[in-house]
Structure 1
């Protein structure tokens, strides 16, 4: 391989990721005839510039929602901010009480709530997420209602009039809402308009709405509006959230739970 300057090599790495969506340290070492230490340093620098996302053994392209409203596949989302999501899910589960009827929205952070329900004996769980329904069914003691409707392959969730019609006859204690984009002034939004519609119905049928999301979702706006921030009872997020945003939320009488996580 021809000799690259440091900047040229890093630009080439980004081009490779854009072409193939993923690169490994091993293949980059061979490509540039350099040590793992040098390549890992390159990847860390590019990560800090928000040009790629580090995964074990290499890096992947940062997924972005398309302008037409198509969003990122759930399998890709699982790779991002995993430690934060685990901590958020564990914290959010402490806000549930025995015998409650709860809605768990689709998403990778809400999935972590489903994994932390061991202390409960009786819950009724309503969800539009196939993977979450399967997860909570493993407890073998909860009443699980999986909403029907049109299946969105990217999120493994159901949407549409059928799912919304079932929701409209179920009164729930709490909704745990997964969030793609959160903006204090402009509200909560998502790339998909059908997802926004079913989330709006969930909010209507729940006594309390608790938004669960990592701090990377702050100050973003997506295609389809879901609700105003003031519709929320609480926000569960990670400790990296800027203090001024926490203060803004608390000034609006929204409870904020900041979760530490293993770094």
Structure 2
């Protein structure tokens, strides 16, 4: 039986509901070796976050959050929790002292913001309110939060005003959160405004690094961001199919693998 922290356990419950429509309390008690009282508390907390529906003896998934397609940030945070934490650590290791970096909005990019402890001097440009607040906790970085229209579902700033500010910011590295990734179709996102600001981020960064868990491979969303050739490196988890690694490296794209086991 695998040991889970409270957050990991609740994330795992959401993952189970991502794979099937319902889960029973008895099943979860056996999986985690915990009492019904603890599992019921987990389900009630996830219900309050609008991440599942409670039923007698268990829970069922909420269809609008199952595939993560432009889901609210609260829901996305629990998808592939372990993988995102590992990806964040590896991505942060690619940063150098004194660099100016762009951190795109997203739950995977948030994990980068949580792993900047070793640095003393960074300039961090972001379009995400929650990431700006997280980076400000270090109390030693220059943090630039873009202004513009707030997308409440993602806590991100988008629109012409944000794009105009970005166009005067030359940056060393961009850490781009990705919703969908296809070698043939490129990188895409459900929201057109997010795609526009992501395109501007890529144009202003010396190096563009896409960070995303392996579930995003071979997917396509509504709004096109960029071709794969426009990305310099990828940070993903160890479940990436070997054939995709070979294809990416053949295109001179660096692939960094994060182990989450």
Identify the TM-score tier after normalising by the shorter chain. Answer: 0.7 to 0.9
Distance 1:243 1:64 in 2: 24
- 1:242 corresponds to 2:241: yes
Query: Which residue number in structure 2 is paired with residue 64 of structure 1?
Result: 67
TM-score normalized by the length of structure 2: 0.78
Q: Which runs of 4+ in 1 moved over 6 A?
A: none
Confirm or deny: 8 A CA contact 2:178 2:210 kept in the other structure. yes
Confirm or deny: 8 A CA contact 1:182 1:217 kept in the other structure. yes
Please list, as runs of the form range in 1=range in 2, the aligned pairs for 1:105-120 lying within 5 A after superposition: 105-120=104-119
Confirm or deny: 8 A CA contact 1:129 1:158 kept in the other structure. yes
Query: Which residue number in structure 2 is paired with residue 232 of structure 1?
Result: 231
In 2 relative to 1, CA 165–35 (structure 1 residues): closer, same or farther, beyond 3 Å? closer
Confirm or deny: 8 A CA contact 1:65 1:191 kept in the other structure. no
Deviations 1:12-32, CA, capped at 9 Å, x for gaps: xxxxx89xxx96634xx6xxx
Query: Which residue number in structure 2 is paired with residue 194 of structure 1?
Result: 193
- The secondary structure found in structure 2 opposite 1:208 is strand
| Structure 2: runs of 5 or more not aligned | 1-16, 34-50, 53-57
Confirm or deny: 8 A CA contact 2:84 2:108 kept in the other structure. yes
Deviations 1:87-114, CA, capped at 9 Å, x for gaps: 0000000000000000000000000000
Deviations 1:53-86, CA, capped at 9 Å, x for gaps: 9xxx8664452367xxxx2111100111000000
Distance 1:134 1:35 in 2: 35
| Structure 1: runs of 5 or more not aligned | 1-16, 41-51
The Cα of 1:35 is off from its aligned counterpart by 10
Deviations 1:145-196, CA, capped at 9 Å, x for gaps: 0000000001000000000000000000000000000000110000000000
The Cα of 1:132 is off from its aligned counterpart by 0.2
In 2 relative to 1, CA 244–148 (structure 1 residues): closer, same or farther, beyond 3 Å? same
Query: Which residue number in structure 2 is paired with residue 161 of structure 1?
Result: 160
Confirm or deny: 8 A CA contact 1:149 1:158 kept in the other structure. yes
Confirm or deny: 8 A CA contact 2:173 2:209 kept in the other structure. yes
| Number of equivalenced pairs | 219
Confirm or deny: 8 A CA contact 2:68 2:76 kept in the other structure. no
Confirm or deny: 8 A CA contact 2:196 2:225 kept in the other structure. yes
TM-score normalized by the length of structure 1: 0.78
Distance 1:114 1:201 in 2: 21
Query: Which residue number in structure 1 is paired with residue 145 of structure 2?
Result: 146
Confirm or deny: 8 A CA contact 2:68 2:75 kept in the other structure. no
Confirm or deny: 8 A CA contact 2:186 2:226 kept in the other structure. yes
- The secondary structure found in structure 2 opposite 1:173 is strand
How well do the aligned residues superpose, as a CA RMSD in angstroms? 2.6
Query: Which residue number in structure 2 is paired with residue 9 of structure 1?
Result: none
- The secondary structure found in structure 1 opposite 2:202 is helix
Confirm or deny: 8 A CA contact 1:106 1:128 kept in the other structure. yes
Confirm or deny: 8 A CA contact 1:215 1:241 kept in the other structure. yes
Query: Which residue number in structure 2 is paired with residue 203 of structure 1?
Result: 202
Distance 1:171 1:35 in 2: 49
- The secondary structure found in structure 1 opposite 2:66 is coil
